[in-house]
Every structure is written in C-alpha cells, then in structure tokens.
Chain A
Amino acid sequence: MNYIVDEMIRFTALARAASALTTPLTPEDFLSLFNPVYSSRQLRGVVTRVEHETEHSATIHFRPGRGWHAHKAGQWARIGVELDGVRHWRSYSLSNAAGQDPAITVTDAGAVSHVLVRDTTPGDILFLAPPQGDFVLPEHPRALLMLTAGSGITPVMSMIRTLIPRRPDADVVLITSNSTPEKSLFREELDELADQFPNLKVRHWFSSALGRLEFTARTIADLCPDWRSRSAYACGPEGFLNDAEELWQREAALDTARTVPQVSAGSSTQGTGTATLTIERFSTDLTMGAGHDGGLVTFEQSDREVRADGETPLLDVGEDAGVLMPSGCRMGICHSCLIPLRAGQVRDLRTGELRNAPGELIQTCVSAAAGPVNLDL
C-alpha cells in the first residue's frame, strides 16, 4: 500500500488532478488515512529505530516525508512532539553522518526530551522542520580541533562520522568533556574510530575525576599541543562556550594582526588567521519576566517598539502604537486577532497562563506582555 501511495505522490500532475476531487482538502489529507507521514501543511517523519546510548539518552532514527532535505554534518532540525495533546518544538542536532538517513541523539533534560528518550518507539510520528544551521565543516580540508561538553558532542559526532572514514587527509583532534565514562555519549564508537583511523585523536576529559576542564592555553596545549594552528569547533553548555570564547579572544588579543571578534547568538566564528573558533549555541531565549511587569513589545514587520505594562492587551498596545492589528470580538472568543509570537512571553489575562513557545499563535485581545515580546506583525 505504501509503495502505491509513494508512487502516487511522485506523479504530482496526478495529485493536482486528484485535488479537484478532494478540495478543500488535498490528496495528502486522504493519503494520510493510509500513511500518517502525508500532510500538505507540515513535514513529518516516521521513527524507524530507537537506540539507547546511555542511561539518559537515546538516538532516534527516522524516515522523513516530502519536504525534507539532506543535512550537512553539524546541522540541527526542529522536532515537534505532542505532550498531552499540545505540540511542542525543540531543536536537536542531527548526529549521524551526512548522506545517511537522519537521526537525533537526545538527552533526557526536560519535558520534550523526556518523552523523546523514554516514550518513543518505531512507528511513532515526529513533526519536523528541515535541517538548518551554520555549524558545519569548512569547505576545504584543514586541521581541526573539536571541543565538546556533554550532549554538545551530537553535531560534532555527525562531523566526525562524515569526515573520518571517508577522508584520509582529515586531521581531527576531539576533546570531549563528560562527568563520567558512563555518561559519555558515543564513547565506544569514538574510541573504535580513533583506533581504526590515525586521522582522529580523541581526548576524553572526565570531570568527576579531573575537575572542570579549564580553558587555559596550558591545559588545552597539554591535550592538543598544536591547538593554535587548528580551526576549532565548540559545542556544549553556555559556561563551557563562554570559557572557550574567552580563551580564543585572549589569544586573538595577543596576536598582532587583530580584528574585533564577533560575538553573536547562534553559530559564530571568531579569532584571526587559522586560529578560528566556531561555536554552536542553542539558548537564544529572551530573558523571561516575572509575569506581571510587562516588557518591551517589538512588532517585527511594522518595525515598532513599545513598552507595555503587564495588564494591557497586546491588541491595544499595538493599536496605540499605530500598528495595523487584526481584531474581532476583543473578548477572546472569536480568534480573529491571532498573531504569531516570534520570541518572548505573554500572559493570558483570563487564566494567568504564560505562553512562550516560538511560533505559537496568540490571541492579542486577551494577552499581555510578560517580559519582552517579539510579534510577527
């Protein structure tokens, strides 16, 4: 059956003709009766395999539907799962090699990752957004230093799996920090790869025995003597990345040819000459308010910024600022005023409930700012 369905999808002309029979629905809406991957509006994938890596983490392999594109090593994708009927989205790095079917490696650290690690079984549906991100391998081969802590290994694992077995000219040193050997993701596979391929060197740092990995020129040089001549990639928790950034900044300052290092959220590269550091950050959240103090409201497309208190509906805030706001009943019943929340947090004035999922549509007539708010209007 699935084969037939796949064939049908391939004949888009046929699908277009079929839509004359299915309007206002699409042929996919009916095909989803047979195979839940089909949807005209959202990309989905079917879980094909789940492997438990450590006590608290698992790798989830999935087969994406139409609209997905192959990932580059180091990229991430947004993954949507349902918790008690409500869709939640998180970003996860794709951990397997470029060119292979996608997989994510997830560590149980929150509500969404908990469900992914503990409750996912083959056949489950994942909601997906196509891979993205600039934390990727350089175009031309060069000596690399990878620095990871905890689950920060996932995008780097994809890079190593892509590079090491296929490129004899690769030259990679990996410094990976974990609390204990048991909690180290991919430890055995990394050691095997290092045994098998001379172009990979793995330096494990176990903080339970050695203490926190200090980012001093000396410590790093002990682990990788020629670190200054390598392009560095770092992925891990905020503190780890800040420490790494500081070291590279200090080194850049010592360097005679200097430029002002760029620091920005997301992936960024800094340093001069060959000693560059590329980092991957996931936490770009706006600082959350307490809920009743309001905050700065940004109307992104209208290019307006206004301060709002915690009690005035965002609809009024926008109209007072001269933004053309969609509106209807002004009492929370008609859903005519929905606007996507890009970032930040709002409070439902009726229930006091806080909403902060990026992309969520909010009812501006009954929502007030609860911290900074960024609206897609």
Chain B
Amino acid sequence: MTTTLTRPGALAASGRPLVRPDAAKHLSDEQILELGRELDAVRDEILARRGASDAAYIRRIIRIQRSLEFAGRGTLLFSKYKPAWFAGTAMLSVAKILENMEIGHNVLHGQWDWMRDPDIHSTTWEWDFVTPARSWQHTHNDLHHRWTNVIGKDKDIGYNLLRMDADQPWRPFNLGNPLYNALLAPVFEWGIALYDLELPEYKEGLKSKEGLNRDLKAVGVKVLKQFSKDYAATPAVAMLSGSGKQALYGTLAANAIRNLWAHAVIFCGHFPDGTDTFTEEEVDGETRGDWYVRQMIGSANISGSKFMHLMTGNLSHQIEHHCFPDLPSNRYAEVAVKVREICARYRLPYTTGPLPRQVGSTWAKVFRLALPNRRVKAATA
C-alpha cells in the first residue's frame, strides 16, 4: 500500500479552512495534516483487529437485552403485586435503554455492518423508539455527524426548540428554555420523532411535500405499532391476571425512564462547558485533520464505570464516537486512550467529567441561555 491515500468526499485534501477554530489556532497546516494521519492510523489499527470477539460482544448484548425485555414484560403481567411491578418496570427500563443506546444507535450507525449479518445491519434494523430508523439515520448520521456543532447546519444544537449556544440569536420565546427542556426530557422520543420530520426545512422549501408525506406516513405507522405494543397489547395480556392497569403504568414508567436517561446522556454529548460550536467559515475548506479537530473539540465525554459506559451506549465516549462513528462501540474505550494522548500532545482540549457534573453543566447552559447574552463579556470568557 502506498504511504498516502487520497481521501474521497467533501473534505479538502490539503490547505486550511477559511477560519481555524480558536482552540486549534496554535497548530500549523502540517501539524493538522499529521494529526489527521495519526487518527486515521488509530482507526486502521482497530479495523485490523476487529473480528470474532466483537461479533460475539454485540450478539451477547442483544441476547441480554431480549432476555431482559422478555422477562420484564412477563413480570409486568403480574404487576398487581408491588414487587412484580417494580421488578418488571426496572427490567423493561434497562432493556429499553440498552435497545436504544448500545444496540439501536450503534447498529443504525453501521458499526456492525462489517459482519454482513442481515439481522444486525444498518439497512434492516428498526428500533424501539417512535422515530423510524430511516428518518433518524438521515438527520443524525448524515446531517448531525457531518456538520457537528456548525451553527445553522447542525440542528441538533437545540433541536429547533432550545437555545443551546450563545451564537444562536435570542428571542423572547427562549425565556422558556428550562421549562421546554424539563417537558422534553420525559417524552424525549416524541421530540426526536417530531424533529426528524424536519418541519422547518419543509417550511423553508428545502424539503419536498412528497418527502414530508412519506416521513409522516412512516412515523404514523411506527407510532401506531409502538403505542399498541406498550399501551394496549401488554396491558391487555396483563388483564388476564387483573394487572392491566398496573402493567400500563409499568410500560409508561419504563418509557419515561428511558427517555429521561437518553435525554440526559445525549445532552452531555455536545452541550457541557468546554465544547465548541463553529461557524460556516470554520468548516469551509476543512481538511480531514480539521474535521477530526472539530469532532474532538465539539464533543464531550462522560467518565465512569464500565456499566455506565454500557448504559450510555458508549456515547460516554462521544469524542471517539464522533471521530469514528462506524467503529464498533465496544472499541471506543481503548480508542479513547489514544485520542486523549493525541489531544494532549497537540494541546487540544479533551472535555470529560462524571455524569452529574456534565448534566449540571448542560442544565446551567439551558438556564443561562434563556436570557439574552450579556452585553459586556466577563473578562475570563
């Protein structure tokens, strides 16, 4: 193999963006090029070792998740007994969290496509989340991951609802920022389903009527199925033991718990203090190295135990996930060691912290940005 391989796609082969982000101003074009090569090497090294043990990992997680879901729903059938209600709800909550995060999110990214297993593939997978997988793949994999944190391009900055960056103009509507976020959290999946319809794009004429109708139909079918499973079919079977009402509350609680958790984890990905947002000038002319820099300084990790990483779907390794969105999630922990070392060597920020601190930090931002920017910026800014 030759030493330099041309990188296809939207990135420039050489040069620099019109404006380089502040956090990377101290780096020369050559250094950025070298940083890109180092990160490519990290990816290639994982690809070379990826194999049977990774395949066994995802299959084990899927088996655990399905067993938990099976047991959880089974236990809820007898949920008129308090312990059964708690046990069933807890198992179903954990199952739903695993299903959405470590399995759904990552399979839909194509992290397991290399196995060529049609049962675990980004083109066939559908998840236990109201937004249809295909719609989400478009707004998330394509738009969010390509335009990570670029104001005006990456609508994930606030999901068209919240003001999450000081560079987003303030409107009186934003006074409700904390209220909207508090209301969004327990119904997060519905918020994402609405967001994936891209209604603002439709109003601006950027999305066709046929496109919208197709998405509306898909989400309608999905909503119906999701709703009848959790709120009709499961309670109906539970009625046989006189637990119908309790089973309904159990599935409702499990969905709410999953939504609260997913919301918390996902908000920790790009909103805590220390993460940067970018202007369109900062991505214009971006090289692969610059692209990596943007992913690293625009994302934040969550530190914690192995179990915590699993329950976040390894989105606690958000920085690594953004550098390499289609590497298998079980590899992010070892990738993180190398990425962190590279960041230190190139004097780039690497934002991480325990969950409570990161959640606190995002909520502080939600409150702060409810108000207009202060005219006089603090000296420390």
Chain A positions within 8 Å of B, measured between CB atoms, are: 20-25, 29-30, 33, 39, 41-42, 82, 84-88, 311, 313, 328-336, 338, 349-352, 357, 360-361, 365-366
Are A311 and B6 CB-contacts (below 8 A) given A21-B229, A39-B119, A334-B145?
yes
Cross-chain contact A86 with B66 (CB below 8 angstroms): no
A333-B141, A334-B146 in contact; A350/B51 too (CB < 8 A)? no
The 9 tightest CB contacts between A and B, nearest first, are A85-B55, A331-B9, A335-B110, A24-B126, A334-B141, A84-B51, A87-B116, A328-B142, A330-B9
In this complex, what residue of B is CB-closest to A89?
A: B116
A335 lies within 8 A of B109 (CB): yes
12 contacts between A and B (CB under 8 A): A20-B233, A21-B229, A23-B226, A25-B66, A86-B114, A328-B141, A329-B9, A329-B145, A331-B8, A334-B142, A335-B113, A361-B121
- Is residue B138 contacting chain A, with contact meaning CB distance below 8 A? yes
Contact assessment for B51 and A338 in the assembled complex, using a CB-CB cutoff below 8 Å: no
Within 8 A of A (CB), among B290-327: 291, 325-326
A335 to B108, CA, bound (A): 9
Complex-state Cα separation, A346 to B233, whole angstroms? 47
Q: List residues of chain B with CB within 8 A of the CB of A349.
A: 5-8
Q: How far apart are A359's CB and chain B's nearest CB, in angstroms?
A: 8
A330 partner, pick from B8, B229, B325, beta carbons under 8 A: B8
B213 close to chain A: CB less than 8 A? no
Contact B52 A334 (CB under 8 A): no
- Knowing A338-B122, A357-B116 are in contact, say whether A332-B70 is a contact too (CB < 8 A): no
- CA of A87 to CA of B326 in the docked complex: distance in angstroms? 18
Docked complex Cα distance between A349 and B5 (Å): 7
Chain B nearest CB: distance from A5 CB in Å? Answer: 13
Nearest B residue (CB) for A39? B119
B122 & A331 in contact (Cβ 8 Å cutoff) = no
A82 touches B10 (CB 8 A): no
A8 CB to closest chain B CB (Å) equals 14
State how many angstroms separate the Cβ of B96 from the closest Cβ of chain A. Answer: 12
Residues of the A chain whose Cβ atoms lie less than 8 Å from the Cβ of B50: 85
Complex CA distance for A42 and B121, rounded to whole angstroms: 12
Q: Tell me the interface secondary structure of chain B in the complex.
A: helix
Give the residues from 61 to 90 in chain B that come closer than 8 angstroms, CB to CB, to chain A: 63, 66-67, 70, 73
Give complex CA distance A29, B103 in Å.
14
CB of B206 within 8 Å of the partner chain: no
In the complex, A85→B123 CA distance in Å?
Answer: 18
Task: List, in ascending order, chain B residues with CB within 8 A of A332's CB.
Answer: 8-9, 326
Task: Let me know if B356 is at the binding interface, CB within 8 A.
Answer: no
- Chain A residue at minimum C-beta to C-beta distance from B2: A352
A311 vs B5: C-alpha distance when bound (angstroms): 10
* CB proximity of B45 to chain A, nearest CB, Å: 11
CA distance A22 to B53 in the complex (A): 28
A86 touches B7 (CB 8 A): no
Q: How far is the CA of A328 from the CA of B137 in the complex (A)?
A: 10
**Are A366 and B70 touching (Cβ within 8 A)?**
no
A369 to chain B: closest CB distance in Å? 13
Please indicate the chain B residues that have their CB under 8 angstroms from the CB of A85 in the complex: 50-56, 114-115
The B336-377 residues at the A interface (CB cut-off 8 A) are none
* Residue pair A330, B122 in contact (C-beta under 8 Å): no
Select which of B115, B126, B146, B233 is within 8 A of A331 by beta carbon.
B146
Task: Give complex CA distance A29, B124 in Å.
Answer: 13
Q: State whether A329 and B146 are in contact (beta carbons under 8 Å apart), knowing that A86-B116, A335-B109 are contacts in the complex.
A: yes
Interface centre among A334, A338, A365 (most CB of B within 10 A): A334
Give, as a whole number of angstroms, the nearest-CB distance from B43 to chain A: 8
Q: How far is the CA of A29 from the CA of B51 in the complex (A)?
A: 23
Q: Which residues of A contact B109 (CB under 8 A)?
A: 335
Complex-state Cα separation, A123 to B11, whole angstroms: 49
A residues near B52, Cβ cutoff 8 Å = 82, 84-85
Q: How far is the CB of A347 from chain B (nearest CB, A)?
A: 10
- Residues of B contacting A21 with CB < 8 Å? 73, 229, 233-234, 237
**List of B residues within 8 angstroms of A328 by Cβ:** 138, 141-142, 146
Closest B residue by C-beta to A336: B142
- Do A350 and B7 contact each other (CB < 8 Å), given the known contacts A335-B110, A361-B113? yes
Bound-state CA distance A365–B222 (Å) is 30
